[in-house]
Structure 1
Amino acid sequence: MTSTGAGSVFARIDLTVLGPPGATRPSLMVHVGSRAVLLTPEESRKALYGPRRDATLGAAVWRQAVTEARREPRDGDDIGRLLVVWLVLPGLYRNLYRILRLWRQVDQADLEAEAVLAVLAALDAVDPDDPDTGGRLIKEAVNRMWAYAKRVTREIPVVDIGAFAEARNSTAPTEERPRPPEGWEVHITPPPRREGLYATIRFAEPHPRRGGRRTGTRLPDMVFRARRHEEADLIGTLVLRPAGARR
């Protein structure tokens, strides 16, 4: 099974463990009964995930890989710990792809990084002699990927209140405001007194069309919405003009 992409965390682990062609690769000397077997990384994976995998050999691979990783000095190259992570990766792909299909906003590199951290954290807690050591490592990584994905999808972006208020309160100059093509404009000019309106209100109504032909306007509806009751106070003067016409 291959990694998820050239720029992914899993792919970098592939390159580190396998190295370029001809490079020295980490190997495992596993003991099955009275027999000792030297396995390359590919052979170790095949023993764990291959179609003819042997449960006894697989348990020996996990036991030896975890044991050697724990013996490594923390200030070393950590190749043994990376080998354990590399052996876990094939058990993660199904859940990785499922999460990415469910939530496209989840970043793949972050998801892979969470899985690697989970394996490294669990490495010091698992029992190398447990027959299900590999399963426990895989489960820890899968659970952490799902937990991370759910946490990310629950996050709500915070709105920049200042920018939002500035954009909402800003007004374009009259000459820059869009005008409805072949429509009408309604201008209500306030009377010269303090009560009533304090600014000009502008309504715009386009000509409705049917089948490419003009069918008239709904100006009566506009005037009805803008008119005042006979007993109400005068709030301004109503002027109708074609859109774009001079005032």
Structure 2
Amino acid sequence: MTATGPGGVFTRIDQGVLGLPGGAWPSLTVHVGSCAVLLSPEESRRALYGPRRDAVLGAAVWRQAVTQARREPPNGDGTGRLLVVWLALPGLYRNLHRILRLWRIDRADLEAEAVLAVLAALDVADPDGPDTGGRMIKEAVNQMWAYAKSVTREVPVVDVGAFAESRNATASLEERALPPEGWELHITPPPRREGLYATLRFAEPCPRQGGRRTGTRLPDLVFRARRHEEADLIGTLVLRPAGARR
């Protein structure tokens, strides 16, 4: 039987069904023809998925398990519903691992989606219908794939409005860190159809020699901000002494 991840939903269900002291989980009384067979949870699983599985016995297992689960009172302990989910788990592993190989999805979330789908299918399942267990497993498999595809389509994006507001906010001279007697370079992009643009500001200290400004860094600052003749226009350039009024 395929092992599940440590601490995952499937593992907890396995522990809930098989971890009771003394194997106290109730067995299924399965009727096949005129015979009544008492099966433990492990024997019920082997009847469904084992190498010597019998289609007739497997249908009887699903019929009895679903019937008992549907008869549980709303305020019951839920053992019958949990047993149905546990019996469905082996039918989910193959697609679970296929999805996890294709996409980086949280396994616990994927397992939870599958369990919820089995329980939802159980609420409308017909115990005497054809392939009752297969229908519930198919619903869970479809839900896993649907969840995986929806998650992979979700692309995290920045809050554009808040980002633009922050970029366009004008800080006071006291709030701005200005190099003493340096230069400020402002590049204002042209308006865009989306209405979002922000002024880029670079500050550069002005070297001094003998108490006078040399200006040797100014050509380098402008050169680094220049536009290649074949490139698109990114905005207008304004150069002013640091702290000068705009």
- TM-score, reference length from structure 1: 0.67
The Cα of 1:160 is off from its aligned counterpart by: 2.5
The Cα of 1:173 is off from its aligned counterpart by: 4.8
What residue is the counterpart of 1:11 in the other structure? 11
Q: Secondary structure at the match of 2:74?
A: coil
The correspondence of residues 74-93 of structure 1 with structure 2, limited to 5 A, is 74-93=74-93
Percent of counterpart pairs with the same letter?
Answer: 72
Superposed CA deviations along residues 60-83 of structure 1, whole A, max 9, x for unmatched, are: 000000000011111111100010
What residue is the counterpart of 2:72 in the other structure? 72
- TM-score, reference length from structure 2: 0.68
- Partner AA of 1:32 in structure 2: V
Residues 200/78 of structure 1: CA separation in 2 closer, same or farther (3 Å cut): closer
- Equivalents in 1 of 2:135, 2:33: separation in Å? 24
Superposed CA deviations along residues 30-70 of structure 1, whole A, max 9, x for unmatched, are: 01111111111110000000011001100100000000001
Q: Is 157-166 or 141-150 further displaced after alignment?
A: 157-166
Residues 6/173 of structure 1: CA separation in 2 closer, same or farther (3 Å cut): same
Q: RMSD value over aligned CA atoms? A: 3.3
- Equivalents in 2 of 1:200, 1:50: separation in Å? 70
Q: How many matched pairs?
A: 195
Q: Secondary structure at the match of 2:148?
A: helix
Residues 162/22 of structure 1: CA separation in 2 closer, same or farther (3 Å cut): same
The Cα of 1:152 is off from its aligned counterpart by: 1.2
Residues 145/201 of structure 1: CA separation in 2 closer, same or farther (3 Å cut): closer
- Equivalents in 2 of 1:55, 1:88: separation in Å? 15
- Partner AA of 2:163 in structure 1: F
Superposed CA deviations along residues 98-117 of structure 1, whole A, max 9, x for unmatched, are: 1111110x221111111111
Task: Note the residue ranges of structure 2 that are not aligned, 5 or more in a row.
Answer: 186-199, 205-219, 228-237, 241-246
Residues 201/153 of structure 1: CA separation in 2 closer, same or farther (3 Å cut): closer
Residues 167/54 of structure 1: CA separation in 2 closer, same or farther (3 Å cut): same
Q: Does 1:147 align with 2:159?
A: no
Q: Secondary structure at the match of 1:67?
A: helix
- Equivalents in 1 of 2:46, 2:66: separation in Å? 17
